[in-house]
Structure formats: C-alpha cells, structure tokens
C-alpha cells in the first residue's frame, strides 16, 4: 500500500502552552487533528496565573486559546490540574466549566509539576485529596495519570506507579482512568489485566515512544522527555499494544515544545523534558504500522479507540492523505521538531505546502 486516506486524528495528550507560542502550536495541531486533549501544566504569564487548577483558570485558558485560532477545525477537550488542595466542589465547578480530564502530576516528576501530588498522598487513600477523585468518578470525568513515582530511578518510576493505580482500581471501580504516555511492558500488561477485570482504564502511547529506546536518549536532548524511553522489549510491547486489536490503547502525542535554548543543558541549566512531535507524529506512527503491515489499523489507534473511550461524538471533519514518499524533516523554527534532519518514509499530503519538508531520498543542504 503506497497511499492511504485516514480520518483526522484524535490526539489525547497535547501541550499547547500559552501566549503567541500557543497560537503556533495550535495551528500545527489543527493541520492534522480533529480533537486534542489540552494539558493543564501552564505557567504564570500571558493572561494566566499558573497551571489550570480551577474552573476559573480553565475558563480563562479556553478563552485565550479559542481566540488564538478562531477558524480552527480541531475541537479542544479540557483538563484540570489536580493539587492536594483540590476539593469535590472544585471538581464539580470544573466539570460545569467543561473539564473532561483531571490530571495527576506526581510532584516534582516533570515540567511544572511542583504543585502536583506527593507520593505519600498518592499512597494514602484516606487523605482528603481522594474525596476529589471520588467526585471525578461521580461526575463521570477521567483521571489522567502521569504514571511515575517521584524520585524513583527513571527506569523504575513507571513500574512502581502500577501499585498506585491498582489501589485506585480497587477503591474506585467505576472511575475512568488513562495512564498517559505508557513506556513499559509492565504497564502495558497491567492495563490489559485491569481491563480484563472490567476496569474502565486505557493507556495513551506517543509517537516518539514507538520509535525510541533509552540508547537514543542518552546524549540526545531532542529525544529527552518524561517518562524517558525504556528498553527494546518495552518499546516492542508499546508497538504491539498500538498495532494490536485491544481498544485499550490510543494515541496521545505528549507533544511538549520547549524553545531550542531550553532544550540544551549547560553549566547553568538542565535540559527541559519534552519532544515536540506534532509536525511528524502521524508520519512516524504510519511508518511503525507499515513495518508491521497493519496500516489498516491506523484509524483505530489514531482515532476510534479514543473516540469510544472518551465518548466523543461527531463525524470526521476531514481526511489526511498519507503517501509513501521519502522525505527529510528539516522544518526549522525556534522549536526543533522531533526527528529533525532525519528521513521518514511516509508523508502527509495536506502538509505539502509547509516549507522545508523536503521530499526525496537525498538529505537537503541546510542553511544554518
């Protein structure tokens, strides 16, 4: 198969940031997505007072983004950032303001997670924080886990988080949960088992975790994100989850742009975690599915599994045309896209007008 038409994508994990940059990121999302779940770890500035921890901030953020690209086709779905101070009343207010997802950031584990939840609270289901979780179950919301134990060794942090989710599954059997950006074979297996026990749980998988192992991350800052990519067996488990027949895995890019000056570490700063995949995510996923000869299952992973889990109505607003055509991603901006200066096998025809997406088997000469 050299040409394939698929419906526009559901990306169930996007960082759109704020200010002028958000306009830019949202325009990129709008080129390929019908739906994007917007992450709440925003910072102070550009009309916001910090992360989206209240219904009021959610309303402010929505107004900012909706004004940013008024003619967009992509539908934005909203999340609330949970803190240890989030109350059941705040959950009801957020639900009334249109929140669908409620994000648990273990404190200190990733970008802007310092108002997140400490491990001791994650493990103590009698802490008042859990009344908020119970309310999320009552309002029919979804808890989105950044599934890593803070301070654990990076290769163990996700595996150790499985016991947190296990306890939540037992305490709140009807609570809808998504384990975001799954990176380990252990978590894939656990999600399968929880689903066999009829827990309404699913996992998102990113494009970059389908392509990387830890070997690709060491010393390569544009491949560095949280959770970090793990070993080959883990990556293979992700590939089989994404390409398999389970409804329990769907796409969430975790596209997380940081300016190129923030992606480098030096004597004054560590590198920020995050891969900005939006310009190449569909092409990369197509490449992975193509290798396993299952391009026909691409719409399940990129759209329908998420549509069913989140119960999002509506027909595709448009289609994307994928063509087998080698091209070099040399698209340049202040934000270096993932897979920069690397060859891809699949191209999205609708992105053909974007400058610097070079079709052809030879690496283009670059002006720096």
Binding site for Zn ion (CB under 5 A): 254
3-state secondary structure the chain: CCEEEEECEEEEEECCCCCHHHHHHHHHHHHHEEEEEECCCCCEECCEECCCCCHHHHHHHHHHHHHHCCCCCCEEEEEEECCCCCCHHHHHHHHHCCEEEEEECECCCCCCCCCCECHHHHCCCCCCHHHHHHHHHHHCCEEEECCCCCCCCCCCHHHHHHHHHHHHHHHCCCCEEEECCCCCHHHHHHHHHHHHCCCCEEEEECHHHHHCCHHHHCCCHHHCCCCCCCCHHHHHHHHHHHHCCCCCEEECCCECCCCCCCCCCCCCCCCCCCECCCCCHHHHHHHHHHHCCCHHHHHHHHHHHHHHHHCCCCCCCCEEEEEEEEEEECCCCCCCCCCCCCEEEEEEHHHCCCCCEEECCCCCCCCC
111 binds, among Zn ion, ligand DOR, none (CB under 5 to 8 A by kind): ligand DOR
Whether the Cβ atoms of residue 176 and residue 140 lie closer than 8 Å to each other = yes
Report the nearest approach of Zn ion to the CB of residue 344 (Å).
23
Nearest to Zn ion of 186, 254 (CB atom): 254
Of 14, 18, 41, 100, the residue at the interface with ligand DOR (CB under 6 A) is: 41
Nearest to ligand DOR of 79, 110 (CB atom): 110
41 binds, among Zn ion, ligand DOR, none (CB under 5 to 8 A by kind): ligand DOR
List, in sequence order, every residue forming a beta bridge with 10; answer none if it has no partner: 35
167 binds, among Zn ion, ligand DOR, none (CB under 5 to 8 A by kind): none
CA 194 to chain CA centroid, Å, is: 21
Report the nearest approach of Zn ion to the CB of residue 182 (Å).
12
The verdict on 57 binding ligand DOR (CB under 6 A) reads no
Nearest to ligand DOR of 151, 173 (CB atom): 151
- Identify which of 15, 34, 128 has the alpha carbon closest to the alpha carbon of residue 81: 15
Report the nearest approach of ligand DOR to the CB of residue 224 (Å).
7
Dihedral angle over CA of 32, 30, 110, 272, nearest 10: 90
Report the nearest approach of ligand DOR to the CB of residue 275 (Å).
7
| Spatial distance between the Cα atoms of 368 and 352, rounded to a whole number of angstroms | 22
Of 79, 86, 111, 221, the residue at the interface with ligand DOR (CB under 6 A) is: 111
The verdict on 101 binding ligand DOR (CB under 6 A) reads no
Tokens representing 157 are 């942090």
Number of residues this chain uses to bind ligand DOR (CB under 6 A): 10
The verdict on 183 binding ligand DOR (CB under 6 A) reads no
274 binds, among ligand DOR, Zn ion, none (CB under 5 to 8 A by kind): ligand DOR
Of 10, 12, 14, 15, the residue at the interface with ligand DOR (CB under 6 A) is: 15
Nearest to ligand DOR of 110, 137 (CB atom): 110
The verdict on 343 binding ligand DOR (CB under 6 A) reads no
Of 168, 256, 280, 351, the residue at the interface with ligand DOR (CB under 6 A) is: 256
Q: Site residues for ligand DOR, window 199-238 (CB under 6 A)?
A: 225-226
Of 110, 137, 190, 213, the residue at the interface with ligand DOR (CB under 6 A) is: 110
Nearest to ligand DOR of 128, 151 (CB atom): 151
Nearest to Zn ion of 135, 254 (CB atom): 254
Of 57, 107, 146, 263, the residue at the interface with ligand DOR (CB under 6 A) is: 146
- Please give the residue ranges that form the binding site for ligand DOR (CB under 6 A): 15, 41, 110-111, 146, 225-226, 256, 273-274
């Amino acid at each position: 198969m050299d040409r394939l038409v698929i419906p526009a994508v559901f990306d169930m994990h996007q960082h759109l940031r704020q200010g002028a940059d958000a306009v830019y990121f949202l325009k990129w999302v709008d080129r390929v997505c019908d739906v994007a779940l917007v992450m709440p770890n925003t910072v102070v500035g550009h009309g916001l007072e910090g992360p989206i921890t209240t219904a009021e901030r959610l309303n402010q953020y929505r107004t900012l983004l909706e004004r940013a690209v008024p003619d967009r086709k992509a539908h934005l779905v909203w999340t609330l950032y949970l803190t240890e101070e989030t109350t059941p009343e705040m959950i009801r207010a957020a639900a009334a303001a249109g929140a669908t997802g409620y994000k648990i950031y273990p404190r200190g584990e990733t970008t802007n997670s310092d108002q997140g939840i400490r491990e001791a609270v994650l493990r103590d289901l009698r802490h008042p924080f859990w009344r908020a979780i119970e309310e999320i179950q009552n309002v029919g919301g979804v808890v989105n886990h950044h599934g890593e134990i803070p301070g654990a060794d990076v290769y163990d942090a996700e595996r150790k988080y499985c016991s947190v989710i296990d306890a939540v599954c037992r305490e709140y059997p009807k609570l809808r949960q998504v384990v975001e950006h799954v990176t380990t074979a252990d978590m894939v297996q656990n999600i399968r088992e929880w689903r066999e026990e009829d827990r309404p749980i699913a996992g998102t998988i990113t494009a970059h975790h389908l392509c990387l192992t830890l070997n690709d991350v060491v010393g390569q800052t544009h491949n560095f994100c949280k959770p970090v990519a793990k070993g080959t067996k883990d990556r293979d488990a992700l590939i089989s989850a994404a390409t398999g027949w389970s409804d329990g895995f769907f796409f969430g890019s975790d596209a997380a742009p940081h300016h190129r000056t923030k992606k480098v570490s030096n004597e004054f700063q560590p590198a920020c975690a995050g891969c900005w995949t939006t310009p190449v995510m569909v092409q990369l996923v197509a490449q992975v599915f193509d290798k396993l000869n299952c391009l026909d299952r691409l719409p399940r992973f990129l759209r329908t599994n998420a549509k069913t889990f989140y119960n999002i109505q509506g027909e595709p607003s448009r289609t994307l045309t994928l063509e087998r055509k080698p091209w070099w991603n040399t698209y340049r901006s202040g934000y270096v896209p993932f897979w920069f200066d690397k060859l891809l096998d699949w191209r999205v025809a609708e992105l053909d007008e974007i400058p610097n997406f070079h079709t052809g088997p030879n690496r283009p000469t670059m002006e720096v």
